[in-house]
Structure 1
């Protein structure tokens, strides 16, 4: 299934989509595949497979810790592609989220070809902007892969328009929606960002970061086409590192709560 199809289905059901992130290889490759399949079975509409990287400057400590575990366990780009293949086989649209350096090292054209061959739907590139992405854009277009770039509250209207024009699949709107006291002001930033982004594109606009339970998912789903959750899934597995069965059970419960949230929103 394509990413577009997942959003069309969610829209037909009158709800936002739930987009779930987990790094490949965390805590090891086989278990990360099992965990992501659990997220799919429990209500995720789209999956983001993280490519572990040694210098994750835009990630918080939770995802950094998971990526470090994956790297220490020997996870490589080929393992990420194997994870994509296993998850995409469920019929759930699967994209890779990665910093640009590993793709460049692997080879841009080779990465695009191998991602498409694995059944991947596209790529989220948090540190690559459309005006620096000519090589990726060309490779993605050859293999019909989605190009998902980021917009932020600090983006100018012109910058948002340039970014959304280069996107395919959905647009990733970054706004912190954590459980701390900053949550209300972050929400104040997210809604207007989605509105500004929608003014430039018909693509779905998805919001991350920081959603950690169903009520927050409902709050974001009220104004966004998709709710992106990452750290909460990672934290659940970190909290159950000594009991993987309990970790999967907790992961299923969290996913179901979030899936209920996007339906209530």
Structure 2
């Protein structure tokens, strides 16, 4: 058995036992028999669709096992970054091409993942589930403090078509109404600026330690060296200085949303 799968199944067993539940007890709360749970825990059967959601609800884990299952199917760099993202006190994100993943609607995210045709539909759906699960950092009881700077060009790019774009821009406006979310747009009138060198995110942990994330066509790169983080800090200050204040940003997003009909 793959070590990552064994770890996940051990977490299932340990969480169940910590709740004082036997396999028989758990079976009374989910649509699978105790014998099925036993086979899954021992690795003799693959968890069926919906299993982790049902178990998380029964064991009151807040979705932890489901998120772990998604994460363990991802490459190591993503595991590292998703951990930094989930545990961050604040996130600062810059995007020039697409809406940041934490703010994407399901339809927009699906279009981003499928329309390029670089992955199978099955893999695109798996990545979609991971992306939507990550958004919990904005809706949990202690949400991350999130600031995003977007290039205006992404507001005009027809990802998924007009209806998808209108829904997405309206979702951005709704997100900006949350007290822990701030949005800023770099207007099209700005010429060359630091953001044209590529998107990035800076995660700051409660203890003030930081990690950075850079994206590319093949993989993501998690950076923690002081010199790299200092460069990202300078890039952040540069893009933030070119962006509109939040109120003007919201007015611009609403104006562009009206054109997507």
TM-score normalised over the length of structure 1: 0.29
TM-score normalised over the length of structure 2: 0.29
User: Is the radius of gyration larger for structure 1 or structure 2?
Assistant: 2
